[in-house]
Amino acid sequence: MKQLKTISELSYGFANSPFGICCIAFSGTEIYALLFPAPNEDALVDLKFRFPKTNFKLDNASAEKLAIQVFENNEKPELTPLGTDFQQSVWKALQQIPVGTTTTYAKIADAIGRPKAVRAVGTAIGANPIAYLIPCHRVLRTDGGLGGFRWGLECKKKMLEWEKKK
């Protein structure tokens, strides 16, 4: 497997979102992770797993500013998801799904030119480090079912409902 870029230091913090408390890992204005952990203590465990050689500094004030940009001002900060080339292609395809709409795992596989890689696409979607902004919540099963969501189906439902109201 390809070696991913190592980040020596990231800030992280907790903030309010329309879907509950979120945790944002960032450097300046670049977002590396957006998580919806429950309980909050799971966030740092998750971040250390995703970025094993990184030192983390708690900065709730800056995380709150980023959350306001994203959830209140509808601004899209610079996203820096770290992943394999395949994951990057899936995450790029996710960002093409219009707000308020959904698609399927199979359609994402088609969109990246890998129609038989539906399971691998599902795995890449599940590894998405930047929830909501890389909208993995907009992907449903072919039968229209919600499928899974790393942060729970209630969170996924809230995201989809909130976007439909926008």
Contact 132, 159 (CB under 8 A): yes
Catalytic residue among 22, 23, 136, 155: 136
Q: Environment class of residue 8 by beta-carbon count within 10 Å: exposed (0-12), middle (13-18) or buried (19+)?
A: exposed
What's the rounded Cα separation, in Å, for the pair 81 and 91?
Answer: 9
Contact 43, 12 (CB under 8 A): yes
Known catalytic residue: 136?
A: yes
Q: How far is CA 117 from CA 9, 93, 122, 163, in A?
A: 34, 14, 9, 28
What's the rounded Cα separation, in Å, for the pair 3 and 6?
Answer: 9
What's the rounded Cα separation, in Å, for the pair 139 and 83?
Answer: 19
Give the residue numbers annotated as catalytic, written as ranges: 136
